[in-house]
Amino acid sequence: MSTLTTHRLRWESDVVSHADDLLRELYDTHWVRMVRLAGLLLGSNDQAEEVTQDAYVGIFKRLGRFRNAEDAVGYLRTSVVNGTRSVLRHRTVVRNNQPLPDTAPDGPEELAVRRDTDTRVLTALRELPMRQREVLIMRYYSDASGPEIAEALGISVGAVKSHTHRGIAALRERLGYLVDPDDPTVVERTREGGAS
């Protein structure tokens, strides 16, 4: 075996080892957070792991772009957001092409669940425009910073602030609650708000 071949084999071995280490670190550090992000953006967990797994496959295909796991996190987050958008678009197409079901009155169990504050906030979130919903979920449920959100969504930090402000205002209006802008999961019913 020539020296050139030996060097090439050693280099390929180093590249594979680097790729394995990078993926392992990304998985160990970010898998749970990315699945949670996907689940919140989708409004359910039924496809969150699949979307996240697809994002990791995308990282694997582009390993040469990243020196370390931290370089890949932004790409990973953006891939998860884009994957959830694809799933949501597909759901909309499916929903728009299904006949409307017969509506039955809500029973006591459904009414009790609906009164739950978390359920009301999440329901109100789903009614927001997609960009506001994405920004609020990433900010308050996934603990992403303004610059991280801006990078993942492909918008400016100023736009993140604007969407956050508008989203909080829309939640206040929809819920009849005082929504804490530092944590919209903390809410208090206003006196003018409807009865529970």
The pLDDT of residue 70: 80
Amino acid identity at 118: D
Q: Are residues 51 and 114 in the same domain?
A: no
Tell me the three-class secondary structure of 13-52, residue by residue.
HHHHHHHHHHHHHHHHHHHHHHHHHHHHHHCCCCCHHHHH
DSSP string, 50-119: HHHHHHHHHHHHTGGG-SSHHHHHHHHHHHHHHHHHHHHHHHHHHHHTSPPPPP----HHHHHHHHSHHH
Write down the mean pLDDT value for the chain: 80
Residue 114 belongs to a domain with what CATH number? 1.10.10.10
Is a pLDDT exceeding 50 seen at residue 195? no
Residue 39: band (very low, low, confident or very high) from pLDDT cuts 50, 70, 90: very high
Q: Are residues 45 and 66 in the same domain?
A: yes
Instruction: Say how far apart CA 2 and CA 56 lie, in whole Å.
Output: 37
pTM of the predicted protein model: 0.56
Residue 155: band (very low, low, confident or very high) from pLDDT cuts 50, 70, 90: very high
92: exposed, middle or buried (Cβ count in 10 Å: 0-12, 13-18, 19+): exposed
Instruction: Say how far apart CA 146 and CA 165 lie, in whole Å.
Output: 13
Closest CA relative to residue 153, chosen from 174, 173, 139, 172: 139
Q: Are residues 91 and 12 in the same domain?
A: yes
Which run of H or E residues covers position 127? helix 117-127
Q: Are residues 13 and 41 in the same domain?
A: yes
Instruction: Say how far apart CA 130 and CA 133 lie, in whole Å.
Output: 5
Which run of H or E residues covers position 174? helix 157-175
Instruction: Give the total number of structural domains in the chain.
Output: 2
What value does the CA radius of gyration of the chain take, rounded to a whole number of Å?
22
Q: Are residues 145 and 170 in the same domain?
A: yes
The pLDDT of residue 191: 35
The pLDDT of residue 133: 92
Q: What pLDDT, in 10s, does the model give residues 85-144?
A: 999 999 888 888 877 666 666 666 665 655 566 777 788 888 999 999 999 999 988 889
Closest CA relative to residue 46, chosen from 91, 82, 113, 81: 91
98 pairs with which residues across the strands?
none
Domain that holds residue 33: 1-98
Q: What pLDDT, in 10s, does the model give residues 55-81?
A: 999 888 887 788 777 888 889 999 999
Q: Are residues 7 and 55 in the same domain?
A: yes
